[in-house]
Amino acid sequence: MEIDKKVLKKMFPNLAKEIEETQQRVGISSVRSEVKDAEKASSKRFANYIPDVVDFIRRCDNEQQADEIIGYLEKRKEIGPEYAKRLRKQVKEKGIRSFGPKKEEGYYSKRGLV
C-alpha cells in the first residue's frame, strides 16, 4: 500500500516524524521464526543486570548530582565509606566523565534490554 507523504504527515504526524529521523532507527542483526526463541535471545544481554554506582554516576550531568548519588548509596549501605571516598575523589579530581560517557535516556532499550 502506498501513501502520499503529505497524507501520512497529516494522518500520523508522530509516525511520519519517526520515519524521517535517522536517530530513532534500530538495527536488525538477525531474524528468528520462533517467537519464544526470539524473545529469549533479545532479552539476554541485560538479563538480571543490576546497575551499580558507576552506572548511576554516568547518568549525572554534574559533580553535585554524582555526589548526591554516592551519598544516597552510602547511606543505604549499598557502597562502603572507603569506596564512596574513592568515588568522590575521582569525581573531584577527574570529573564525572572519567567513569565513562554519559548514559542517556533509553540507554538499555537501545542496546537490547527492551
pLDDT tens digits in sequence order for the chain, 114 residues long: 688 888 888 888 888 887 777 665 666 555 555 656 555 555 555 566 678 899 899 989 999 999 999 999 999 999 999 999 999 999 999 999 898 888 877 666 666 554
Which pLDDT does position 8 carry in this prediction? 85
Residues 99, 90: contact at Cβ < 8 Å?
A: yes
Specify the pTM. 0.55
Q: Which of 47, 51, 32, 65 is nearest to 113 (CA)?
A: 47
Using the CB atoms, write b or e for 11-41: b if 16+ within 10 Å: eeeeebeeeeeeeeeeeeeeeeeeeeeeeee
